[in-house]
Chains A and B, each alone.
Chain A
């Protein structure tokens, strides 16, 4: 049976939603840069990508 008196939970204000969206976009961009970086270095290093001075 569904509970009709469900708690509303945490309701974000418009300002909080906006900031949250901005932070999410920033994280997505940072992860995108990381992926591109790993891809580019793999291309640059070629087959020897894991061979490097310790």
Chain B
């Protein structure tokens, strides 16, 4: 306090995010005021970053009674809680002495997220056979993930395959770095849920790792040939490009209406799907080579107004 001169306090208030990602740019809004209502628009405010670098917080234009200022800051690259210090030094303003004030601004930083994609999974895969899938990882910050390791694990967490991500994002994506991994199917048939794991531990910018799951159907070796001919019910004409399904097995019919399968002995539901047609599900037992004919009914030609919409 200055001898013989009445003093006013200064108050610093602010609006700041409580949590940001590491390295993120963010804005702090600082409100400097005097309880007595003095104009502090020209008063000095400084922001000191966690690394000790001090920045002058300049007043915003057009704010008279309460000095609202915005200062752009950058979060540290380390995960944790970081403290900025805002200081208004003692000064004279509006003809009054104003005391210094100091506030601390804690901001927590979190790592960037990563996420995964798994695709081109063949289905079904024969027991014991090698096969390939594609796996990719994406940094929410768009970081280059080239060279980062990615792994496929079984249900117990054992690593089945591992490699590093390539140097070119998957076509059509912004930054999905990917790799094709070769795996070997288990010796038993069934449906398995495996995982892709990405630790993201070696990146300069902290990232949180990711896990994603996918299903894979492993089948016994085929024993019999099934030929399915799909015809239209009324005309008996072959139907091309109809999708024929027997559980995990699928094939599309050719121009002559035929689809061919190699299947292990088992009971199946034979389903046919083609847009604009209707077909019931047909139970079928495969214990020898077989040829079947499936008639599907053409639905009335689709007219956008067919349901009498206007």
The reply to whether chain A is a binding partner of chain B is no
